[in-house]
């Protein structure tokens, strides 16, 4: 089953009678919302962000001398650059080096980079929040780092991480509206297009 496409806006939408104009606007908004739900937007942007963030966490905990500063630089870079700027750099910067990408791909890459940097640091803070005595207790039992994380530290850090992780994911979902600035036709972009066509953002009567 193919994905639904957005119905085109009539050039003279604002000249239609009030009830027809409202119905047409609702149809376009409903189609945009359906596309956002049915397209694999959330798995494409969030699941890789989780995986990359988990990889960054593991690298930070590995205590490798050359890896720690690189991971810290990655986190500082993508936490310090606003998501809107990342979208512009990826979408408009990739063609400069000969890579043509669609708004869909650019938005997905920007969200993965942004999400992984924040989640990796959030989860590292949750692990650091576990009392030091728990690490010492695991060491006294002869556990390796992997065993300590999976059996002692991980379950405690997971409970701490639930609230900040959910809160950040809510921010990510709201931040996807920024993808409209690079031409991605999501709900915010469609609503702005209708408002520009009707000159009436709140009342289409």
193: Cβ–Cβ under 8 A, 6 or more apart, which residues? Answer: 9
Helices and strands (DSSP H and E) totals, the chain: 9, 0
**% of the chain with per-residue pLDDT over 70:** 66
* The pair of three-digit structure tokens given for residue 103, joined into one six-digit string: 């708004």
pLDDT tens by residue, 98-119: 888 887 788 888 889 999 999 9
- Note the pTM of the prediction, 2 decimals: 0.70
Where do the H-state alpha helices sit in 81-186? Answer: 83-93, 103-128, 132-140, 145-148, 154-175
Q: Give the residue from 103, 129, 93 showing the smallest Cα distance to 39.
A: 103
Return the sign of the alpha-carbon dihedral for residues 57, 61, 63, 69. Answer: positive
**% of the chain with per-residue pLDDT over 90:** 25
pLDDT of residue 193: 67
Q: Tell me how crowded residue 192 is: count the other CB atoms within 10 A of its CB.
A: 12
Do residues 88 and 126 make contact, with C-beta atoms less than 8 angstroms apart? Answer: no
Q: Give the residue from 22, 21, 1 showing the smallest Cα distance to 13.
A: 21
Residue-range domains of the chain with CATH: 42-184 (1.10.3720.10)
The pLDDT confidence band at residue 189, using thresholds 50, 70 and 90, is low
pLDDT tens by residue, 113-151: 999 999 999 999 999 999 999 999 998 888 888 888 888
140: exposed, middle or buried (C-beta count within 10 Å: 0-12, 13-18, 19+)? exposed
pLDDT of residue 165: 92
């Amino acid at each position: 089953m193919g994905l639904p496409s957005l119905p085109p806006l009539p050039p003279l939408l604002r000249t239609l009678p009030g009830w027809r104009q409202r119905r047409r606007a609702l149809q376009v908004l409903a189609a945009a919302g359906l596309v956002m739900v049915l397209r694999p937007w959330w798995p494409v942007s969030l699941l890789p962000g989780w995986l990359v963030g988990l990889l960054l966490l593991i690298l930070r905990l590995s205590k490798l001398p050359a890896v720690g500063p690189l991971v810290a630089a990655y986190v500082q870079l993508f936490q310090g650059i606003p998501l809107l700027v990342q979208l512009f750099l990826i979408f408009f910067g990739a063609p400069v080096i000969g890579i043509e990408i669609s708004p869909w791909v650019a938005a997905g890459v920007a969200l993965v980079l942004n999400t992984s940097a924040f989640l990796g640091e959030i989860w590292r803070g949750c692990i650091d929040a576990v009392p030091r005595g728990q690490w010492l207790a695991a060491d006294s039992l002869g556990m390796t780092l992997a065993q300590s994380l999976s059996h002692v530290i991980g379950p405690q850090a997971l409970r701490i991480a639930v609230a900040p992780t959910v809160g950040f994911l809510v921010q990510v979902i709201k931040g996807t509206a920024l993808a409209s600035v690079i031409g991605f036709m999501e709900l915010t972009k469609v609503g702005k297009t209708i408002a520009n066509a009707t000159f009436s953002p709140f009342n289409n009567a």
